[in-house]
């Protein structure tokens, strides 16, 4: 995650929830963490209390925000930058490998099988990208 300069997060204050669910982040006693009263997520501070990171195993990358004094600004991870080139690379490899195999096949059933397999494998990365950007 890139280092953004934000305001220092006061561990004794309440903040709006960054998950867009109209909740309120409240400090959890004896920890350096916050809990949302609406979405029940737990957040911890990072980088000298200038970033807020969500503790959740449901996402393929960590979600983090910094406080600008009025609202939370999302800090995007590097995974978002990697998905598109990865998807395009897989599609190009599928076209280079599967298309010649399909054209060389002499049986109609084999051609149909290879075409369907190539289509499914081409849609898989697109589905991954859609899932990655669905919650942003």
Q: What's the pLDDT score for residue 16? A: 92
Q: Count up the domains in the chain and report the number.
A: 2
In terms of domains, do 64 and 33 share one?
yes
Asked if residue 108 is part of any domain, the answer here is yes
Name which residue leads in pLDDT, 50 or 100.
50
117 in the same domain as 99: yes
Instruction: Taking residues 17-29, report their average pLDDT.
Output: 86
* 22 shares a domain with 64: yes
d(CA 24, CA 36) in angstroms, rounded, equals 5
Same domain, 96 and 111: yes
Asked if residue 2 is part of any domain, the answer here is no
User: Which of 67-70's residues contact partners 24+ apart within 8 Å by CB, and which partners?
Assistant: 67/6, 67/7, 67/9, 67/15, 68/6, 68/7, 69/7
Partners of 52 in beta bridges: 45, 65
Phi and psi (nearest 5°) for 42? -115, 135
pTM, two decimal places: 0.54
Cross-strand partners of 46: 51
């Amino acid at each position: 995650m890139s280092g953004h300069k934000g305001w220092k997060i006061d561990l004794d204050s309440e903040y709006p929830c960054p998950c867009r669910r109209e909740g309120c982040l409240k400090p959890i006693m004896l920890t350096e963490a916050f809990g949302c009263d609406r979405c029940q997520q737990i957040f911890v501070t990072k980088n000298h209390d200038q970033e807020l990171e969500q503790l959740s195993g449901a996402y393929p990358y960590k979600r983090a925000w910094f406080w600008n004094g009025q609202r939370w600004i999302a800090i995007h991870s590097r995974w978002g930058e990697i998905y598109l080139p990865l998807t395009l690379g897989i599609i190009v490899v599928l076209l280079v490998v599967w298309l010649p195999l399909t054209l060389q096949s002499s049986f109609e059933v084999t051609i149909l099988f290879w075409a369907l397999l190539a289509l499914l494998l081409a849609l898989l990365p697109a589905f991954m990208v859609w899932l990655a950007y669905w919650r942003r």
